[in-house]
Structures are given as structure tokens and as C-alpha cells.
Amino acid sequence: MTSLVRSNPLRCSFHRIGKLTIPTITICRQYTNMNRDISPPPAKRHRTSSQTARPPQTLSANPPPVLPRIQANTLRIFSWNVNGIGPFVQMSITSFFQGSKKEGFLHRHEWPAILFLQEVKIAASDVKTQDAVKAAVNARLPSESDADTNGPLYDVHFTLPNDPLNARGLRGSGKIYGMCCIVRRNLASEYDVQVRTVDWDQEGRISVVEATPKSTKSSKLVVFNVYAVNGTDNPYRDSATDAIKATRHDRKLAFHRLLMQKCKTLEEEGWDVLLAGDMNVAPSALDGYPKLRTVPVQHARNRVRWAITCSTTECTAPPNARTPQIAHLKFQPIQPPTIDIFTGIFSVGFVLHYRVY
């Protein structure tokens, strides 16, 4: 009987954020006959003639379409769950591939004001990886070296887990969850920008960017970068006593409540509030394929309570939203103040255009 073993060659294409290389990988399934006779390698390497030699093949990047130019009174904000940033800052393999012939990601997208990353999975003690991310973000491609294309610098802020009981990571490494806020440095000419976290989360799930305008034309803006709790039946422990307080489902609901209380307090203080990131809920059928909206039942309960707690309406995604893309959701402040949310599970991420005045 013939034995077949499946092999999975990878086809990779890359686009770049500074020197952060972002791969898109396609697995092509093939089958190899393992019962055939295997010949030993030749004793001497044969020279290949120049007529028959094949030129080396390179895999070129196919960057996504360039976003439209934004107006001067608009902030462009990206949000993306990277599910581990480590592979994106490894430089060795990228040197074997031909990079994009077009400008880098940040340049192509008009140097966004803020880029939010969730689940960077960096231990708080891993300063080396944090420094590598900072260096990669501000590195420039050769096509960006002249005065016309050399864009602004960015400041990189991390919020990493500090809860060894509830955010252990693999074998207690601490490489789990974690947030990164990449903020364009020249925003300081128009805003006083502060990046912080909250005192009721130690799992590295929330970063808060406060932008106080230096002119009276704009309102105060606070943007939350959120990786919300994913509810399970696993225990949630008291970080001080190690006692089991509740389940992760219970912690998820408490997280929603505390987040909304904070947002409403900020609104009462005159801030425009924006939530961005991965909320770990399934507000529409696209988010819960095939059964996440109904099985287990606790996910359905969490979704209903999230909608009630946040008092928001659903945002409709494009018809082909299951394909890798950047979804465009546009918000502008309205009266009375409301909490705007942009979030989702798309493969690439979200971009938001926020009109500041």
C-alpha cells in the first residue's frame, strides 16, 4: 500500500512598517510518495551550465492599496491584534526576500497618528525585544531616505502584564497579552499627549492615550487600546492572596463594567472617548462564525451584557469582510457625547479616521 505524507510549502509575501516585516503566508498542500526508492546523493557536485541555470526566484510583496489622503483636521488611527510581535522583529529571514518596491507601510498610509497593537506577548522583563520594536518602528527603508519621504518619528509605549497568577504565559514566561501604542511624535505640536494604563488591570490589557489640544478648536480626546478578557471557566485568582475569586467569565463582565465606568467618568470630565482594539465579543454574525454566538451559552450572555453596558449600536462591516482587508470606519464627535468603538477580528486590522474639529 502506498504511503503518502503531506508537506506544507509556504508561500510568503511581506509588507513593512518601518523595519517591522509583516508576512502573509499561504500554505500549499502537497503529497509525497514515501514508498519510492531513494537514491544516495552524488559523490561530486555537478556543474550546471549557464544555459540551463535558473535565476534565483524571489518573493515580492504585494502591498495593500494606499489609503486616501486625510484632511488636516483628521487623525488616522490603526488597530491590529498581532498575536505575538516577536516574529515581526526577527531580521534574518527577511533578507532573503525582495522587499516592496513601493514605500514603507507608514509612508504609504500617510504616517498615521496612532498605531495600536494588541497581544504583543512580550514579558515585562524582556527589554531587548522592547528596544527592538522601538528601533524597527523608526528605521527607514532606502526609499524613505530623502527629505521628501523621510517621515516623522514615533514614540513606542508598552503596557505589559504584571500579574503572575492570572497572566503567566507559557511555563510562567510572562509572554502573554500585552499592549503597544505607537504614537507619532509630532502630535506634541498640537496636543499634550500622555500614555498610561488603569489601576484595576494588571494583565496588560489596557493602554490609554490622552490628547489635550493646545488650541480651543478641538476637544480633549482619550483613546483606549483594549484587549478585553476572553471568558472561560478557568479560575480568576486574587493577585494578593492567590485565592480563587471567580471564573474568567466573571472577570470578563467585571472588566466590561470597570471599563465603561471609566469611560463615563471621562465623558463627564469633558473628554471625547474612543475605544479601539479587540473586545473579545461577537456583536455580529461575521464575528461568531460558526457557533461562537451561541456555544457555549456564556458567550451569548456576555455579548448581550456588553451591548447593554456599552449602550452602542452595531457597526456594519463591508460585505467581503472575511477576506484580509482594512475596514474603514469613520466617526466624528456628536452631541451629546457618546463613546465610539471600532473593533473586530479582521485579518489585517482597522483604520479609523477621527475628525477633531
The phi, psi pair for 301, rounded to 5°, reads -65, -45
278 is in an annotated binding site: yes
Q: Is residue 280 part of an annotated ligand binding site?
A: yes
Integer Cα distance of 209 and 222 in angstroms: 6
3-state secondary structure the chain: CCCEEEECCEEEEEEEECCEEEEEEEECCEEEECCCCCCCCCCCCCCCCCCCCCCCCCCCCCCCCCCCCCCCCEEEEEEEECCCCHHHHCCCHHHHCCCCCCCCHHHHCCCCCEEEEECCCCCCCCHHHHHHHHHHHHCCCHHHCCCCCCCCCEEEEEECCCCCCCCCCHHHCCCCCCEEEEEEHHHHHCEEEEEECCCCCCCCCEEEEEEEECCCCCCEEEEEEEECCCCCCCEEECCCCCCEEEEHHHHHHHHHHHHHHHHHHHHHCCEEEEEEEECCCCCCHHHHCCCCCCCCHHHHHHHHHHHHHHCCCCCCCCCCCCCCCEEEEEECCCCCCCEEEEECCCCCEEEEEEECC
Residue numbering of the annotated binding site for Mg(2+): 81, 119, 278, 280
Residue numbering of the annotated binding site: 81, 119, 278, 280
